[in-house]
Amino acid sequence: MSYNLLKGKRGLIFGALDENSIAWKTAERAHEEGATFVLTNAPVALRMGTIKTLAEKTNSEVIPADATNVEDLQDLIEKSQEILGGKLDFVLHSIGMSINVRKGKHYTDQNYNWTQKGLDVSALSFHKLMQTLYKKDAMNEWGSIVALTYMAAQRVFPDYNDMADNKAYLESVARSFGYFFGKDKKVRVNTISQSPTPTSAGQGVKGFTGFMNYAEKMSPLGNATALECADYTLTLFSDFTKKVTLQNLYHDGGFSNMGVSQEIVEAMED
């Protein structure tokens, strides 16, 4: 069902890799709700994924860009405004990567070159993106910038490794830069802390299936899906959330406020 929630709005969506991606689902739903947008991902990710299919489906153009490279971001934002015919109304940052996780390095035995690369891709890229948007005055007033995060930024999830630190940094950047974007440009900046979701990135975390099942049993409403996250993201892009900014918004079926659930207690008694 379409509500024309984003009719006439222009945007930029980072991180759609395949149809499991939250960014992919967000692009599909934004298109259904009347938005036009540019899709972008790192050149290597474009080769690995199937983003051209999404571009055709949503009548969008794809611009390769390395989100850690300021020149790439400047070029991307200029080209996006040319393609879309004006300033942007929404931006989704859906980027995260840990080489330590990928290569099976324990948190207590990090390769710090990999740690720095992961921080740059997962968190510092958000500051670089917003700084570029800010300096170029590329956002319309009452525009919305959203980044995806996870509750490991606040609490211990041992196998989430250095991504937990990356997400903590990401959330801090959202608040700190969000202040200036709000005060100077009337643009809102928020993060969505999503349930564990079986995306290509999420499934790379050790013990993911067990943790998904645990979160499902802990959450009164169950885990939020990628499509449900896309729908929630759209509400933040819409005009109905104009005064929501500097927030880390939990979209997790209630998991973040739980201590223990009846199902977990019963499972432990067996």
Whether the per-residue pLDDT at 127 is higher than 80: the answer is yes
Res 186: pLDDT: 98
Res 148: pLDDT: 98
Catalytic position from the list 150, 169, 179, 250 = 150
Catalytic position from the list 160, 169, 179, 250 = 160
Res 46: pLDDT: 84
Catalytic status, residue 107: no
pTM for this entry: 0.97
Q: CA dihedral in degrees (21, 27, 28, 31; nearest 10)?
A: 180
Res 196: pLDDT: 94
Which residue shows structure tokens 């009337």?
Answer: 186
Give the residue extent of every domain in the chain: 10-269
C-alpha gyration radius of the chain? 18
pLDDT band at residue 49 under the 50/70/90 scheme: confident
Res 207: pLDDT: 81
Report d(CA 252, CA 216) in Å as an integer: 9
Res 66: pLDDT: 97
Give the DSSP H/E element, type plus range, for residue 249. Answer: strand 248-251
The burial of 234, by beta-carbon neighbours within 10 Å (0-12 exposed, 13-18 middle, 19 or more buried), is given as buried
Res 45: pLDDT: 83
Residue type, 245: T
pLDDT band at residue 131 under the 50/70/90 scheme: very high
Q: Does the annotation place 264 within a ligand binding site?
A: no
Mean pLDDT (whole number) for 261-269: 94
Pairing label, strands 139-149, 248-251: unpaired
CA-based nearest residue to 14, from 69, 93, 76: 93
| CA 127 centroid distance within chain | 14
CA-based nearest residue to 182, from 209, 144, 156, 237: 144
Tens of pLDDT along 23-45?
999 999 999 999 999 999 999 88
Answer for the pair 179, 187: CB distance below 8 angstroms, yes or no: no
Catalytic status, residue 160: yes
Which pairs from 100-106 meet CB under 8 Å and 24+ separation? 100/161, 100/162, 101/160, 101/161, 101/162, 101/163, 101/204, 101/205, 101/206, 102/204, 104/206, 105/161, 106/161
Res 100: pLDDT: 97
Of the chain, the percentage scoring pLDDT greater than 90 comes to: 90
Q: Does the annotation place 21 within a ligand binding site?
A: yes
Domain 10-269 in CATH 3.40.50.300? The answer is: no
Tens of pLDDT along 174-202?
999 999 999 999 999 999 999 999 887 76
Answer for the pair 11, 92: CB distance below 8 angstroms, yes or no: yes
Q: Does the annotation place 238 within a ligand binding site?
A: no
Whether the per-residue pLDDT at 162 is higher than 90: the answer is yes
Q: Does the annotation place 11 within a ligand binding site?
A: no
Q: Does the annotation place 167 within a ligand binding site?
A: yes
Res 183: pLDDT: 98
* Upper half-sphere CA count for residue 60 (Cβ side, 13 Å): 30
Largest CA distance in the chain: 62
Tens of pLDDT along 207-254?
888 889 999 999 999 999 999 999 999 999 999 999 999 999 999 999
Res 1: pLDDT: 83
Angle between helices 22-32 and 51-58 (to 10 degrees): 10
Which whole-number Å values give the CA distances from 140 to 34, 77, 117, 134, 136, in the listed order? 17, 13, 32, 11, 11
Res 36: pLDDT: 98
Give the DSSP H/E element, type plus range, for residue 183. Answer: helix 163-185
